Amino acid sequence: MKKLIIAAVIMAASACVSARDTAEIYEKTCKACHDIGAAGAPKTGDAEAWKPRLEKGEEALLKSVANGLNAMPPKGMCYDCTTDEYKALIKFLSTGK
């Protein structure tokens, strides 16, 4: 039982260390375009600009991120982001929170 508890603690600590902050990822990869609306990028927190995009659904948005769209490069400049991180970034971009 002790080994199981130790393993669980190690796994939890690893998850905490590897988890990245969405705002930090945004600052490094998304902000340059989405903060000012460069090349038609919807501005961060602009609910009206994001509304038609969000209506397409999460899968469509994730596909756009993966493949790139218009001036946005594939993976939106976050080449090591996970699907969950992309989902969190989409939420952050669309709400500003």
Express each pLDDT in 38-96 by its tens digit: 999 999 999 999 999 999 999 999 999 999 999 999 999 999 999 999 999 999 999 99
Name residue 51's amino acid: K
Q: What is the pLDDT of residue 19?
A: 72
CATH annotation of 21-95:
1.10.760.10
Surface-to-core class of residue 76, CB atoms within 10 Å of its CB (0-12 exposed, 13-18 middle, 19+ buried)? buried
Surface-to-core class of residue 16, CB atoms within 10 Å of its CB (0-12 exposed, 13-18 middle, 19+ buried)? exposed
The whole-angstrom separation of Cα 75 and Cα 27 is 15
Domain residue spans of the chain: 21-95
